[in-house]
């Protein structure tokens, strides 16, 4: 049976992360659903109040006693839900740091060139394994004053209550009559609440992934006698254009992987070679194919689907290089990350000529 490659292992580890995140999402969705369930009686009465109004302006709806009571209830419940999110973040961070350390060691092992068993055991036996709590502290993502904790505190309560209020009054701007607004009430409240849940899921998923990646990097750095650098690995075909453009790029150990929120890219270690070990053996490990080379091999239909018509036409017209599809942005918790660029990001006003 052939030995698994680092790419096989990276894909397997990504799936494990996805499974853990799905369980956290289910737990949060169950708790969040109770907020809506608790509101349903008051929402039914509010819909009657709105249907009876002659001119349901936003101000008039927001001044209704029942509307104010609903917003206060949402604020209180969403604030409590913030505690649930913080708990889930603590769980997934702990799981992910442990997994990131263990998986980094495995990736290092399978990235080594084929060696006699005694030499391989000697090398793998020298691997340094960092304590998980040390990595957690160094990451700076936990603790009362951490940027992530402050972000979680700001994210719920008033924010979710405001979103609910905005969605309840959405129909006013469209000129809907009172009965239509009343009929849409539950759907609109769900949309407003949904913005809070979506934000929570993104927060937990990103905390999980960043903790995992940071544990990878810390382990590689602690084993810099074995790991010379790392290579950006994306799941080509399902990754965004930014991650596709970064795939296969080589990075030194003092850089960390900075994919976007909810990204699932992996830093695959570039380990020592036969030459580094003083062995006169031809190297057999092929360099990882770059994302750009992979994209160039795809049929035009796939390229257009991934880019969109305007972006594809501009690319075909040689108006930008493939690497420009990855663009930095700033996050208050994680610093500079990379996202997929829009055509306007790349070309500015000149992008207009490609939109038809």
Q: What are the pLDDT digits (tens) for 312-349?
A: 999 999 999 999 999 999 988 888 999 999 999 999 99
CA–CA–CA angle 207, 10, 224 (5° rounding): 85
**CA–CA distance from 118 to each of 48, 122, 124, 128, 133 (Å)?**
79, 6, 10, 18, 32
Most confident of 7-11, 104-108, 136-140, 314-318: 314-318
Residue-level pLDDT at 27: 81
* Mean pLDDT value across residues 291-299: 97
pLDDT over 70 at 111, yes or no: yes
CB 121 within 8 A of CB 109: no
Higher pLDDT, 109 or 86: 109
Neighbours of 296 (CB within 10 A): 10
User: How much is the average pLDDT of 254-281?
Assistant: 87
How far are the Cα atoms of 96, 215, 243, 251, 303 from residue 130, in angstroms, in the given order? 14, 9, 28, 22, 42
51/139: higher pLDDT: 51
Q: Which has more confidence, 319 or 141? A: 319
| Residue 139 confidence (pLDDT) | 63
Region 231-255 average pLDDT = 94
What is the rounded CA–CA span in Å between residue 250 and residue 252? 7
Q: Which residue has the higher pLDDT, 6 or 2?
A: 6
Say which residues have a Cβ less than 8 Å from residue 244's Cβ, sequence separation at least 6: 234, 236, 291, 292, 294, 295, 306, 325
pTM above 0.85, yes or no: no
Alpha helices in 113-157 (DSSP H): 117-124, 132-139, 147-155
Neighbours of 160 (CB within 10 A): 28
pLDDT of residue 1: 38
């Amino acid at each position: 049976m052939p030995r698994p490659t680092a790419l096989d292992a990276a894909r397997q580890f990504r799936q494990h992360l996805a499974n853990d995140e799905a369980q956290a999402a289910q737990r949060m969705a169950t708790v969040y659903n109770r907020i809506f369930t608790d509101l349903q009686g008051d929402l039914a009465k509010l819909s009657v109040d709105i249907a009876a109004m002659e001119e349901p302006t936003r101000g008039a709806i927001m001044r209704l006693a029942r509307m104010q009571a609903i917003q206060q209830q949402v604020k209180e419940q969403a604030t409590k839900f913030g505690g649930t999110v913080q708990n889930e973040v603590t769980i997934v961070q702990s799981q992910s740091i442990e997994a990131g350390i263990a998986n980094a060691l495995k990736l290092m092992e399978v990235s080594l060139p084929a060696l006699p068993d005694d030499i391989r055991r000697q090398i793998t036996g020298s691997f340094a394994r960092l304590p998980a709590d040390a990595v957690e502290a160094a990451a700076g993502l936990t603790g009362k004053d951490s940027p992530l904790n402050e972000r979680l505190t700001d994210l719920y309560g008033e924010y979710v209550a405001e979103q609910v209020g905005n969605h309840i009054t959405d129909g006013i701007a469209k000129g809907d009559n009172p009965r239509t607004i009343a009929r849409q009430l539950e759907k609109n409240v769900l949309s407003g609440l949904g913005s809070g849940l979506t934000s929570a899921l993104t927060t937990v998923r990103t905390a999980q992934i960043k903790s995992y990646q940071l544990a990878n990097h810390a382990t590689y750095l602690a084993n810099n006698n074995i790991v010379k650098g790392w290579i950006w690995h994306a799941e080509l075909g399902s990754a965004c254009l930014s991650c596709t453009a970064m795939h296969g790029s080589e990075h030194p150990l003092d850089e960390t992987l900075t994919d976007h929120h909810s990204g699932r890219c992996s830093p695959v270690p570039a380990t020592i070679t036969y030459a580094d070990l003083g062995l006169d053996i031809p190297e057999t490990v092929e360099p990882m194919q770059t994302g750009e080379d992979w994209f160039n091999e795809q049929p035009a239909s796939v390229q257009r689907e991934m880019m969109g018509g305007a972006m594809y036409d501009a690319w075909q017209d040689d108006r930008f290089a493939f690497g420009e599809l990855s663009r930095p942005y700033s996050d208050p918790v994680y610093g500079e990350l990379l996202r997929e660029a829009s055509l306007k990001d790349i070309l500015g006003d000149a992008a207009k000529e490609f939109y038809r």
